[in-house]
Structure formats: structure tokens, C-alpha cells
Amino acid sequence: MRRQFLRMGLSCLVALLLLGAGPVRADSDQDRARAAVESGEVKPLGAILKAVRQRYKGQVLDTQLLDMGGRWIYRVRLLTKDGKALDIGVDGRSGQILDVQGD
């Protein structure tokens, strides 16, 4: 009986550790990005996409907001009308396009 309780206790502990290990970091990154936008430290995604679309025509496939050592960078993946995939780096604070790969 004692061995059964010990086994069940260890199983519960392992399950709690596994459930809590992954999402905590993801939620933390998302929360920090959301807080940066809400505080005005980073431009909202809509403003970034407007700047990108003024310069490049196509369909936005994916976006990410990355903290690069204290500097927020949006990565925008865009499919142009002629079928090229562009990866566009945009400064999150100023909205300035920093680099374009696949151009």
C-alpha cells in the first residue's frame, strides 16, 4: 500500500513538471511582446504591415515579433505576386524596414 502511494505521488509530480515546463516560457514571451506593444515601446502589427505593403505587394504568410537582445524586430514573410517568398525584417520601434531576404 505504501509503495502504491509513493508510485502515485511520483507519477503526479512528473505529470505536473511536464505540464508546466513548456508553456511557461511561451506565455512569458507572448506576454512580454504584448506588454511592449501596449506600452507603446513597439508599434502594433497593423502599422508594421501597412509600411511593408506600401513597399512590397503580395500576401502576408506569417509574422513574428522577436526580442533580439532588447531590440524588438518584426519578421514578416510575404509571398509576392510573381511567386517569390520574402522575409522582411522591420524595426518594431520605428517601423523602418531593416532587411529583405529573397528579394
The pLDDT of 74-103, averaged and rounded, is: 94
The pLDDT of 83-96, averaged and rounded, is: 96
The pLDDT of 73-94, averaged and rounded, is: 96
And the C-alpha cell for 6? 509513493
Q: What is the pTM of this model?
A: 0.69
pLDDT digits (tens, 9 = 90+) for 16-70: 444 444 444 446 778 888 898 999 999 999 999 999 999 999 999 999 999 998 8
